[in-house]
Amino acid sequence: MQAFHIHYRNTQGTLMRILTAVSRRGLDIPYMHAAVSGYVHRVDLLLEVNPKQIGQLCRDWHAIVDVTDVRVSTPTPEMLETIAFTGPHPPASAASDSRSAAAMA
């Protein structure tokens, strides 16, 4: 697992463009934290990626106009503790809901 720390100016759609770069590759995001960091905003992501994907993601994020800095590091204990506490979520299709059953009929 790799931790990504992305600093960006909070303009319309910037965070969505950052997250779209991840979702386009079909990667799970077990940990995400967005907050204000001084005059810019910061989002921390924890992703299971290979070296090629690290390069692709960093290149995509640097291409976003409002991204000011991208850093890759090892996960912090807080990140690992948070994902260990929450555990994996079941797929949405595994939920048994009467409305979803009615929609399938």
DSSP 93: G
Instruction: Count CB atoms within 10 A of the CB of residue 18.
Output: 23
Cite the DSSP H helix spans in 1-105. Answer: 14-23, 51-63, 77-86, 98-104
Task: Decide if 36 is inside a domain.
Answer: yes
Q: If we measure between CA atoms, which residue out of 79, 77, 59 comes closest to residue 67?
A: 59
Order of strands across the sheet that contains 40-47? 31-37, 40-47, 2-8, 67-73
DSSP 92: G
Q: To the nearest whole percent, how much of the chain has pLDDT over 90?
A: 65
Confidence of residue 38 (pLDDT cuts 50, 70, 90): confident
Question: Higher-confidence residue: 99 or 4?
Answer: 4
Task: Decide if 9 is inside a domain.
Answer: yes
* Residue-level pLDDT at 80: 84
Phi, psi of 14 (to 5 degrees): -65, -50
Question: Higher-confidence residue: 89 or 63?
Answer: 63
Domain of 21 in residue numbering reads as 2-89
Question: Higher-confidence residue: 93 or 66?
Answer: 66
Task: Decide if 52 is inside a domain.
Answer: yes
Task: Decide if 48 is inside a domain.
Answer: yes
Task: Decide if 101 is inside a domain.
Answer: no
